[in-house]
Structure 1
Amino acid sequence: MMNNVYKDYIFDFYGTLVDILTDEKDPELWDKLAQLYQAYGTDYKGEGLRKSYAKRVALARKELIELKGVAYPEVDLTHIFNQLYVDGRPQSSCLHQLEDWGQLIAIVFRVLSRKHLLVYPHTKEVLTFLKDQGCHLYLLSNAQAAFTNAEIDLMELRSCFDTIYLSSDSGICKPQPEFLKQVLDDYGLNPSETVMVGNDLTTDIAVAKAVGIDGILLNTFPYSRQELETSPIKPDRVITDIEDLKTVFT
């Protein structure tokens, strides 16, 4: 049941506040990444690097599932890129700052694969409005800290949030209930006064339902009317513009 006014808003990031398009299958992306690895002593080629990356991600996901006992793990890509260097380097070559390497490659990976990134219309205006009403705003995103933090700053949105939760830091992602519960527990949020706002039924709305808070679908995909009607996951409200969040105060 929708409340008249919420005190705490938990927002998704990609597809909700910002529009992003990436292509992580682009052969040119992998060729350029392979050239970086080659420059530091490995013999990767583009397609070989892509396949090794996919295998490492799959293995890391399996290990996290077993370690954490969860269905929805989140792999930290900086560790993957570090491991790929260790796997591919000759014994005579070694980077001394391996963690910096993983961070660098993750950022390069994102920059090369990103086609566009922009804030949706009215986003900053509405977030500012909600804060002016005394609401607390939190960001909960299935995202890689290595490059999402930079993109949050690039879009000038960091100051809008009381705190930011990124799945790669937690090792789990939406719709794993514990990811959202972490926000509720850390800040002692009242579920009846808290709402999740996101663009994905299977992650954002599903996790809201799993922990017993309302979920507002910002329909940017967009889902068709038929998809919304037949989906077993039902949002408490569907909006097509973030500006519609202001109506609860009028």
Structure 2
Amino acid sequence: MNNNVYKNYIFDFYGTLVNILTDEKDPMLWDKLAQLYQAYGAAYEGDALKKAYAKHVDQARKELMDLKGVAYPEIDLAHIFNQLYIDARPQSSNSNQPEDWGKLIAMVFRVLSRKHLTAYPHTKEVLAFLKEQGCRLYLLSNAQAAFTNAEIDLMALRAYFDGIYLSSDAGICKPQPEFLKQVLDDHGLKPSETVMVGNDLTTDIAVAKAVGIDGILLNTFPYSRRELENSPIKPTRVIMDIEALKIGFT
């Protein structure tokens, strides 16, 4: 597109639109989760729960990789947390386990591990501007639906998007080409009119290149100049602030 202007913008979420910090290694996190499991009759200690979780995640990813025949599978953590309960209560069909247990624990896991979550400066301003210009906006995130949907709403960003795609729903994640291609196919988006905007070369920019669309790197990591120069994955454009997406509109 001329002047770096596109009709369709596909955004990454974490590290692109919002800044988040989590600590999933904190022993206190696992101790508190274990206490919640204990309250419903599943006898876990914090460290044992953490190890069992890691084992289930690794096994589930391998199984999904084989099942789907993909290099980049994405599991649903709600299923993992539910299986952990079942493992500890094999005869628990009549237990006091609440409905949607896995989703509940996934949300608690996120709330306890999240240190901060804020929208980057200019995020809402630029999304609103692009909508005013008649652009269509989509979200494509390597993320867990069990808690990312709540965080999208917490940041009041849902209304800006014409479609939201989360990897745990799809069973695959960036840079698996089919994940991005689904957005193009579902909405009839022309590759020449569409751009992927994200903060990660190996996922966001790589998946854009894989399906033949432009990729804009919003360099929030940030990558150093040397890293950008030496990377085999080259973005169409590098910007330091999302506000740069407004350039080119008249």
Tell me if TM exceeds 0.5: yes
Which residue does the alignment assign to 1:56? 56
Quote the Cα distance in structure 2 between the aligned partners of 1:119 and 1:151: 10
Matches of 1:63 and 1:211, distance apart in 2: 26
**Matched ranges for 1:37-52 at <5 A:** 37-52=37-52
2:185 maps to 185
Task: Give me the CA root mean square deviation.
Answer: 1.4
Describe the superposition over 1:89-139 as per-residue Cα deviations: whole angstroms up to 9, x where unpaired. 262674466651001000000000000000000000000000000000000
CA distance in 2, matches of 1:73, 1:195: 23
> Is 1:145 aligned with 2:141?
no
User: What SS is found at the alignment partner of 1:208?
Assistant: helix
Alignment-derived partner of residue 226 in structure 1 = 226
Cα offset for 1:182? 0.2
Give the gaps of 5 or more residues in structure 2. Answer: none
Counterpart CA distance in 2 for 1:197 and 1:92 is 46
Partner of 1:114: 114
Report the Cα distance in structure 2 between the residues aligned to 1:26 and 1:18, rounded to whole angstroms: 22
Summarize the Cα distance change of 1:101–1:92 in structure 2 as closer, same or farther, 3 Å threshold.
closer
Pairing 1:125–2:125 present: yes
CA deviations on 1:115-173 (whole Å, 9 max, x unpaired) are 00000000000000000000000000000000000000000000000010000000000
Distance 1:145 1:208, change over 3 A: same
Letter in 2 for 1:117: L
Give the match for residue 205 of structure 1: 205
Structure 1 residues 186 and 93: alpha-carbon distance in aligned structure 2, compared to 1, 3 A threshold: closer
- Return structure 1 stretches of 4+ with deviation > 3 angstroms: 1-4, 92-99
> Deviation at 1:5?
2.0
Q: Which amino acid aligns with 1:144?
A: Q
Amino acid at match of 1:195: V
Cα deviation for residue 4 of structure 1 reads 3.8
Q: Are the aligned partners of 1:7 and 1:136 in contact in 2 as well (CA < 8 Å)?
A: yes
How many residues are aligned here?
Answer: 250
CA deviation map 1:62-92 (0-9, x unaligned): 1100100000000100000000000012626
Q: In the alignment, which residue of structure 2 is the partner of 1:215? A: 215
Matched, 1:16 2:16: yes
Q: Which amino acid in the other structure matches residue 103 of structure 1?
A: K
Give the Cα separation in 2 of the matches to 1:44 and 1:94: 19
Distance 2:152 2:95 in 1: 29
**1:158 maps to which residue?**
158
Between the aligned partners of 2:27 and 2:97, the Cα distance in structure 1 is 28
Alignment check: 8 A CA contact 1:142 1:173 kept:
yes
CA spacing shift, 1:195–1:137, aligned 2, 3 Å: same
CA, structure 1 residues 86+208, in 2 after alignment: closer, same or farther (shift >3 Å)?
same
CA distance in 1, matches of 2:93, 2:45: 18
Instruction: Normalising by structure 1, report the TM-score.
Output: 0.97
Counterparts of 1:95 and 1:133, CA distance in 2: 54
Judged with a 3 Å threshold, the aligned counterparts in structure 2 of structure 1 residues 29 and 188 are, in CA distance, closer, same or farther, namely: same
Partner of 1:28: 28
Q: Residue type of the partner of 1:136?
A: R
What is the rounded CA distance, in whole Å, between the counterparts of 1:129 and 1:156 in structure 2?
A: 16
SS of corresponding position for 1:229: helix
Separation in 1, partners of 2:211, 2:3: 16
Secondary structure in structure 2 of the residue aligned to 1:226: helix
Give the TM-score of the pair, scaled to structure 2. Answer: 0.97
Query: Any gaps of 5 or more consecutive residues in structure 1?
Result: none
Is contact 2:11–2:139 with CA below 8 Å preserved after alignment? yes
